[in-house]
Amino acid sequence: MQAGDLAGATIVFDLDGTLVDTAPDLVRALNQTLDLEGLPPARLEVVRGLVGRGARVLIERASTLAGAGFSEQRLDQLTLAFIDFYRADIAAESRPFPGALEAMDELSQAGARLSVCTNKRTDLSVQLLDALNLSARFSAIVGADAVAQRKPHPDHFRAAVTRAGGLVERALMVGDTLTDLSTARAAGAPAAIVAFGYGGAEEGQGADALISHFSELPAACQRLLATA
């Protein structure tokens, strides 16, 4: 890929399960939260399949699997507890997926802007990316709390593009779940789904690109955006 091939393009990344493998730290915080209610710990492989709609939904899904249900008020309280547990050591075991840094370097060198569109809270997203020395790579980091309608609503994607200084017509979504794919489709944008993410290859069916390693992403972006 040559410098300038993606000039004017914006590559929008989902965070958990796409850019960063956060499941080990999420399961730690989740199990500390479940323990408050005397519920059994969730397994890492189960939690990977529950991530993607924010902390409250994660707690709700995990407690349902454990046979428990909570009032809206108690869910609010447990969500706050989860956030405290999580932020206390947010990147103890979280790491970018293999090849992510190199792919972002190549995209940036080709002229693309990078942005984050995540259903994680913005403050937690920034804290995580700061801890991993990744924040400076992004022109915008837009969490669920920073928009009126979060993913899969297309306005979340549009905000991630425009706040990065880009145009929706020249933007692409990189994600790992049907939520990400649906978001891109609703916004009229192409989507690249990472088969190694928490959603797995099955959730990438119908995507414009299904990639098995981040090394494949720059070529996919060039194919989908360079002549857009």
Catalytic site positions:
14
Q: Are 17 and 24 in contact (CB under 8 A)?
A: no
- Share in percent of the chain as helix, strand, coil (round to 5): 50, 15, 40
- 193 - beta bridge partners? 175, 210
- 6 - beta bridge partners? none
Q: Are 12 and 107 in contact (CB under 8 A)?
A: no
Torsion angle of the four alpha carbons 18, 188, 8, 117, in this order, in degrees rounded to the nearest 10: -30
Backbone angles phi, psi at 83, to 5 degrees: -60, -40
In one letter, which amino acid is 114?
A: L
Q: Are 122 and 146 in contact (CB under 8 A)?
A: yes
Q: Which residue reads 């969500």 in tokens?
A: 79
Query: What sign has the CA pseudo-torsion 206, 15, 122, 69?
Result: positive
Indicate the DSSP class of residue 111: T
Let me know the angle formed at the C-alpha of 161 by 216 and 105, rounded to the nearest 5 degrees. Answer: 35
